Amino acid sequence: MRLTAIAIALILSAPAQADDSADTFAMMCSACHGEKGGGDGPASASLDPKPAKFNDAAFWKERDDAGVAKIIKEGGAANGKSALMAPFGGTMDDAQITAMVAYLRTLAPSEKAPK
């Protein structure tokens, strides 16, 4: 649990100043969601529920871009998901969140749901 708290603190303190969404994902999201979006980052071992798997077609079949953007912006707790998913609306603007959702879709298999 201590590793989880440290990872979340680092994520929340990191500014969203990366050059592109891949860099932002690596800096702010991969600790929990994994380098390739498989929900298997180093902090995920102590998380319950486990982080979303962006590289899983089942994830995309149940969500649209607006819903994923809403969770990124408002956090998990505000959307009936895990309270451990921090809100990033204070560190990312709407354009960055939209770009992040587009990047997350690149991690998905080709049979992902329509946008």
pLDDT single digits (tens) 6-60: 555 555 544 444 459 999 999 999 999 999 999 999 999 999 999 999 999 999 9
Q: What is the pLDDT of residue 7?
A: 54
Q: What is the pLDDT of residue 58?
A: 94
Question: Is residue 29 assigned to a domain?
Answer: yes
Q: Are 75 and 87 in contact (CB under 8 A)?
A: yes
Structural domain of residue 36, as residue ranges? 2-107
Q: Nearest-CA neighbor of 54 among 22, 11, 94?
A: 22
- The tally of domains found in the chain comes to 1
| pLDDT class of 111 with cuts at 50, 70, 90 | low
Question: Is residue 75 assigned to a domain?
Answer: yes
Q: Are 14 and 20 in contact (CB under 8 A)?
A: no
Q: What is the pLDDT of residue 110?
A: 79
Question: Is residue 11 assigned to a domain?
Answer: yes
pLDDT at residue 112 above 80?
Answer: no
Note the pLDDT tens digit of each residue in 48-93.
Answer: 999 999 999 999 999 999 999 999 999 999 999 999 999 999 999 9
Q: Report helix angle 21-28 to 94-107, nearest 10.
A: 90
CATH of the domain at 29: 1.10.760
Question: Is residue 114 assigned to a domain?
Answer: no
